[in-house]
Amino acid sequence: MPIANEFAPDVVLVSSGFDAVDGHAPPLGGYKLTAKCFSYLTRQLMDLAGGRLVLALEGGHDLTAICDASEACISALLGNEVKIACGNIDD
C-alpha cells in the first residue's frame, strides 16, 4: 500500500477472479483466503483514488466461493464494517 499511496492513482481497476478463495482446488487455486479477506482488501483499495474503485468479476471456478467473495466485496463497497485482516484466514 505505501507504493500505491505514493503513486496516487486517479482510479483503481481490479480484475476480480477470486481463484485464491478457499474452495478452489489446485491447480486452479488451492489457496485458503476467506471471503472476509477479500472484503478487507477491498476496503484497503477504497482508501486509494478518493474511493474511485472498479471491481470487475472476470471468472472463477467454484460458484459458492465466487458468491461469498463477491458478496464480501460488495459489503465493503457499501461501507459495512470489516472486522478481519487477511492474517486471520481461519476466522
Q: What is the 3-state secondary structure (H, E, C) of 18-49?
A: CCCECCCCCCCCCCCECHHHHHHHHHHHHCCH
Residues of the chain with pLDDT under 70: 60, 84-91
The span from the CA of 13 to the CA of 58, in Å, is 12
What local confidence, expressed as pLDDT, does residue 83 receive?
73
CA dist., res. 64 & res. 3, Å (int): 33
Count CB neighbours of 39 within 10 A: 25
Helix (H, G, I), strand (E, B) or coil at 80: coil
pTM (2 decimals)? 0.82
pLDDT of residue 86: 64
What pLDDT sits at residue 65?
A: 87
Give the per-residue pLDDT at 45.
94
